[in-house]
Every structure is written in structure tokens, then in C-alpha cells.
A and B are shown apart, each in its own frame.
Chain A
Amino acid sequence: MYSPPVIRKELVAASAEPLVLSLLAKGESYGYAIIQEVKARSEGKLNWTDGMLYPVLHRMEHRGLIKSRWGESETGRKRKYYSLKKDGKLAMQKHHEHWTLIHGVLSGLKKEQYV
């Protein structure tokens, strides 16, 4: 019988952008905190290899969805903080629409016992 891994890597990769956008919608944050929050909210099931987050963040920054600034933590450690831009908010809304649609279709099919 087919037994999928915790969450397929394709799905993890596809969910990275909407998750990062949604987390940054709450306020500016930095890479490590983003990873920790995703792990906590998914109860460790959505386990990114931490390093994969940074290419995603850099790509989103180049696309004008988010912006970054260097700052210091309360302990004095240098950090790169990311925050959402206007286009990022719009992109997040689109992601929410798409994921809600997919969720709705799956839920509907499940209710009809096709899944």
C-alpha cells in the first residue's frame, strides 16, 4: 500500500511562498524565526531544510513581493529582517484564493467519498 512521506517535497516547496507571505503579513521577521514558526504551527510536520528558505526569500525580494533590511537583535546579533510589500499582500491574497479553491475541491470530493 502506498504510504506517502510526511509531506511531499513538491508540496513543501509550493507552500513556501504563501506561508512566508502570510507570516510576514503579521509583521517583519527574519529567516530563523520564520522557520521556527512554520515548524511550530505545523507541529513539526512541515519540516523545511532551513537553508532552502533563503533562496525563496531572495527570489521573492527580487520579484518585489518583500523587502529586507539589516538590523540587530536584542542580543546584538546582526539579522536580516524581511517585510511584506504591497505586491506581496496582493500575491498573498491570490495564494489564499488558490489554496482555498484546492482545499474546497478536495473537501468536496472527500465528502462524496471519491478520495
Chain B
Amino acid sequence: MFDLEQAIADWRKQMLAAGIKAPVPLEELEIHLRDEIELQIKSGVEEERAFGGAVAQVGPADFLKTEFERSKEFLSWSVGSFAAMPCNRVIKKHPVGFGAAIGMLMGIVIFAVGNSLIPDYLLLKAINAVQSPLIPVVNWIQGPSRGWGPDNAGICKLLLIMMGYWALIGLLAGFGCRLVSSRNPGKST
């Protein structure tokens, strides 16, 4: 006597043995198999034949394994797989914010490296060079009487300026990514 549940359990074992993983995608395939069996039975096919027909329709285990492996290969070399990682999901979803955050981080790193390696007199020059386009802003914030030097306040300002500069570059890069992705939706390379 044909036992449908036992037959489905055996089919599952074959799929697992062939390398189809559970619960995903095996569970989805089993639901599909059950839908097909149900449809065939409703149309008057006896249970055993319905099962056989549904198994053939879903495809043999080796074929499915190859198809899923092809899919994985595609994902492994494409940026699409990178997008599967949480970090890159953020990049895909919020490229502008991500760019700005990375930019600020770069600003901190560059500042930290520069501050530890560059002698004070060169740092002073760097501060002056970086702040020069911002003199009107600085004057507006703290008044023209106070100059900037490599003291703590000056260093903090340099850090903020570096973060701001790089955040701006990050923002622009983020906008660029957004523009490119909107022109090439779903393109994986």
C-alpha cells in the first residue's frame, strides 16, 4: 500500500543526500511538491502516480543541486553576494549615509596618523592650510581675535575639519553609487 507521507520523507532524504540543504531551500521545494501532488489528485490522478509526476516535475536531485550551485557560484563572484552580507546591505540601502560615515572614519584615522607622525610646526602649517578656506566661518564662530595653533582646541578643530572634508567626499561617493545603481538596477558586477 502506497504511503504518501513515507514517500515524501524518502524524497526528502534523497534531496538531503544530494546536497540540497534544509530548511532552505528544501522546505520550499517540499511545499511545491505537495502543491503539485494535491493538484494532480484533485484532477483525478491516483496518489502514487501523482507523487511520481510531482517528483519528475520538481526535478531530479542532481539537477537541482547543480542549479543551486550555479546560483551560489554566481553569488560568490558577483557583488550580489557581497550584498548578502549585512554590511553591504547597509551600503546598498543607505549608500550616502554609509559614505559619509566611512568618510568621517577616514578623517579620524588620517588625523590620528598625521597627529602622531607630523611634528608640531608642520601640524601648525597643516592646520593653517586646512582652515584657510574656512577662516570666515571660524571667525564667525569664535571671533577674529583668537588664532589657531597646535593646542588642544586647534587639534580638535583640525579633527572636525578633517572629518568634515572626508565626510563630504564620502557623501559624494555615496551619491555616485546611488546614481550608478539606479541606472543599473540589479546589475551585479
Contacts and interface: CB of A to CB of B under 8 A. Distances in A.
Interface of A: 31-32, 35, 49-52, 54-56, 58-60, 62-65, 77-80, 86-91, 94
A51 B186 contact: no
A50 B64 CA distance: 10
B139 interface: no
Nearest to A56: B71
B6 interface: no
A63 B182 contact: no
B185 A55 contact: no
Nearest to A58: B71
A65 B32 CA distance: 22
Given A59-B75, A91-B185, A51 B67 contact: yes
A63 B80 contact: yes
A60 B181 CA distance: 15
Main secondary structure of the interface of A (DSSP, over half): helix
Interface stretch (B42-50, B55-63, B125-133, B155-163): B55-63
Nearest to A47: B57
Contacts of B63: 49, 51-52
Given A49-B63, A78-B31, A87 B36 contact: no
A59 B78 CA distance: 11
Nearest to A79: B31
A90 B28 CA distance: 27
Contacts of A77: 31, 34-35
Given A54-B67, A55-B70, 19 more contacts: A31-B31, A31-B32, A32-B36, A50-B58, A51-B67, A54-B68, A55-B71, A62-B75, A63-B83, A64-B80, A64-B186, A77-B31, A77-B34, A80-B28, A87-B186, A88-B186, A89-B185, A90-B185, A91-B185
A65 B181 CA distance: 12
A71 to B, nearest CB: 11
Interface string B155-175: 000000000000000000000
A32 B83 contact: no
B42 to A, nearest CB: 12
Given A62-B81, A90-B186, A94-B185, A51 B59 contact: yes
Contacts of A58: 25, 68, 71
Contacts of B78: 63
Contacts of A54: 25, 28-29, 32, 67-68
Nearest to A59: B71
Interface in B1-53: 25, 27-29, 31-32, 34-36
B29 A51 contact: yes
A77 B83 CA distance: 31
A94 B181 CA distance: 13
